[in-house]
Amino acid sequence: MSRFTRLTPTAARVWVAGIGAAGLIGGAAWSGLAATPHAETPSAAQTHASIGHAIAGGRDSYADVVDVVSPAVVTVHAAGRARASQTQFEVPDDFFGQFFGRRNSPFQAPEGPAHRPRQSALGSGVVVTGDGYILTNNHVIDGADDVSVDLTDGRTLKAKVVGTDKPSDLALLKIEGSNFHSLTLGDSDAVKVGDVVLAVGNPLNVGQTVTMGIISAKGRSTGVGDGSYEDFLQTDAPINHGNSGGALVNMKGELIGINSQIVSVSDGNIGIGFAIPANMARHVMTDLRTKGKVTRAQLGVTVQTISPDMTEALGLKDSRGVLVSSVAPGSPADKAGVKRGDVIVSLDGQPVRDMNTLRNRIADAGPGSTAELKVIRDGSEKQVNVTLEAVDGRRAARDDSDTEGEHDGGATNDRAALGISVAPLTPELAGQLGVKRDTKGVVVRDVDPDGRAADVLRPGDVIQEVNRRPVDSVDALRNALRQTADKTVLLLVNRQGSDIFVPVKPNNG
């Protein structure tokens, strides 16, 4: 199984189960990582050579680009005390236990910050201004109290952490001095799949290294780390631990990305790496430099991807856009009239491809700006203008009212239609399920593993709507299902406090 992993500044890699395990590529190591050779096949080398010949004006070389880029890429050293949770130790031959400990470790470190061992991490960074501002990854310097950088001219300088932004995994450093060699930030939106790129950094602490590849894809999201704002450029330019925070550049020598993650089954390069796009980095850098923190805008909706089954149930011509599953009360979207069940197909005239696209573009628009949304509601297109507000971390307040709605007295079995059995939702049961006490709907008691809803419903789900019509009782659910004939049914479900739409094709025999 493939593994996404950040190029971590720690020896212990961050493994995440899922479509793969992704990982941060921060440090060559806290210590002891060994380089593994990755031989390039002749066919790949020939392909790269032919591309290089065409781009380099008849010369099989990228030396001119490297001459521009190399002096601006630095090695970042970060040191600090281990975190409070990292207090156990393991025998030295246990690679993970050395640094993070294991629960069954026979050794226990003394408690308190003064007794925590110091750790050192290594990554890369990019000088982006002549007066010494440097972009790197947040995970490279996270928790460090001592940061320094090695320049290519042999100098090592102390670096100040100007600010960090965990949601984007970016950090801004500052070194004292002037006339530093810096890179120009390019327009990452203009990058195309197939463009030739170079990755520059210090992988595995072997020294500054340049690798070449292409942009393999755009708009990727891995969900590793915080995962809040991701819009990665994917590249096959070889990158490994230690490349984190390094440069991904185009053939003009412009910085188009900050290398951040890889996907690998071996914890080494297999040709799938991810870089934070320069346009996102520019926004983060500007905010950190001028305000010390990053300000993002919010719309106030929860959205989800539209599946082919949903397309049918919603009466859409295609699956473009994203489906609004909830609107936060008092949010910008609520004030502008966005409704649950709306399909957002464009933002400011540009198509909305997926949830990631919408979230990132709203965030970058800035608080106080106006966003023009085109939505499809009940088969008709509508334009909605929304004045965005700053993200403040607040969540919509839950209404814990004891008001009871009207409910049927007992459970029923609707296996003929959906393969589920349901029961009335009471305020007490709602509280146990993590939904608002005044929520109307029915609770799924169990799901037939061979039934139509087996893949999309689970016990504890609260069914609130059938085909956009509320169901506040068992009878209401049964009657709604009888009217669906043999078409896909779109259910609005509250699952542990979050509203989502799920499509089910019932078997109304």
11 falls in which pLDDT band (50, 70, 90)?
very low
Question: Residue 180 carries which side chain, given as an amino acid letter?
Answer: F
| Cα–Cα distance, 334 to 345 (Å, whole number) | 18
| Cα–Cα distance, 262 to 257 (Å, whole number) | 14
pTM: 0.65
Question: Residue 434 carries which side chain, given as an amino acid letter?
Answer: G
Q: What is the pLDDT of residue 3?
A: 56
CA distances from 484 to 123, 312, 447, 509 (A): 57, 12, 20, 12
With beta carbons less than 8 A apart as the criterion, state whether 14 and 224 touch: yes
What is the architecture, at CATH level 2, of domain 73-174?
Beta Barrel (2.40)
pLDDT at 114 over 70: no
509 falls in which pLDDT band (50, 70, 90)?
very low
Q: Has 115 been annotated as catalytic?
A: no
Q: Which of 139, 241, 283, 407 is catalytic?
A: 139
Residue with tokens 């720690």: 10
135 falls in which pLDDT band (50, 70, 90)?
very high
Q: Which of 221, 244, 331, 473 is catalytic?
A: 244
What is the architecture, at CATH level 2, of domain 4-69+184-291?
Beta Barrel (2.40)
| Cα–Cα distance, 20 to 4 (Å, whole number) | 5
Q: What is the pLDDT of residue 389?
A: 92
Matching fold, domains 316-390 and 412-504: yes
pLDDT at 282 over 90: yes
What CATH class is the domain 412-504? mainly beta
With CA atoms as reference, report the closest residue to 26 among 11, 7, 10: 7
Q: What is the pLDDT of residue 86?
A: 34
How many alpha carbons fall within 13 Å on the CB side of residue 28? 21
Q: Has 325 been annotated as catalytic?
A: no
Q: Which sequence spans correspond to the domains of the chain?
A: 4-69+184-291, 73-174, 316-390, 412-504
Tell me the mean pLDDT in the region 71-75.
97
81 falls in which pLDDT band (50, 70, 90)?
low
User: pLDDT tens, 14-24?
Assistant: 332 223 334 55
Tell me the mean pLDDT in the region 445-452.
79
Q: Has 48 been annotated as catalytic?
A: no
Q: What is the pLDDT of residue 339?
A: 93
CATH, domain 316-390, list 2.30.42.10, 3.30.1300.10, 2.40.10.10, 3.90.320.10: 2.30.42.10
Q: Which of 142, 150, 165, 169 is catalytic?
A: 169
User: pLDDT tens, 403-417?
Assistant: 222 333 344 445 456
With beta carbons less than 8 A apart as the criterion, state whether 140 and 9 touch: yes
User: pLDDT tens, 184-239?
Assistant: 999 999 999 999 999 999 998 899 999 999 999 998 887 665 556 888 999 999 99
Question: Strand, coil or helix: what is 427?
Answer: helix
Query: Mean pLDDT in the chain?
Result: 77
User: pLDDT tens, 172-184?
Assistant: 999 999 999 999 9
312 falls in which pLDDT band (50, 70, 90)?
confident
